[in-house]
Amino acid sequence: MQTFLIQRILTAIVTVFIVSIVVFLFVQASGNAAAMLISADMERDAMLELEEKLGLNDPLYVQYARFMADFFTGGGAVYSFKYMTPVLPMVLEALKWTMVLAFGAISVSVILAIPLGTIAAIKRGSFIDLIIRLIAVFGQSMPSFWVAMMLMLIVAVNWQLLPVSGAGIKEAILPITALSFYQLAVLLRLFRAEMLEVIHQDYVRTARSKGIKEFAVIYRHCMQNAALPVLTMAGIQLSQMMLGAIVIEPIFAWPGIGYLIIGSVMYRDYPVVVGGVMIAGMLVTTINLLVDILYGQLDPRIRVS
Encode pLDDT of 271-298 as tens digits.
888 888 888 888 887 887 777 777 666 6
pLDDT at 176: 92
All structural domains of the chain, each given as residue ranges with its CATH number in brackets, are 94-273 (1.10.3720.10)
The SS3 assignment for 149 reads helix
Query: In this predicted structure, what is the pLDDT of residue 209?
Result: 81
86 Cβ contact partners less than 8 Å away, ≥ 6 residues apart: 75, 76, 77, 78, 79, 80
CA distance 195 to 223: 7
In this prediction, residue 84 carries a pLDDT of 81
pLDDT category at 173 given cuts 50, 70, 90 is very high
**How big is the CA angle at 261 (ends 257 and 262), to the nearest 5 degrees?**
120
Q: How many CB atoms lie within 10 A of CB 174?
A: 24
pTM higher than 0.85, yes or no? no
CA–CA separation, 20 and 14 (whole Å) = 10
36 — pLDDT class (breaks 50, 70, 90): low
pLDDT of residue 41: 58
Highest mean pLDDT among 85-99, 200-214, 230-244: 85-99
Residue 233 in this model has a pLDDT that exceeds 60: yes
Residue with the bigger pLDDT between 117 and 213: it is 117
Cα angle 270, 22, 262 (rounded to 5 degrees) comes to 40
Contact partners, residue 34, CB within 8 Å, separation at least 6: 47, 50, 51, 54, 56
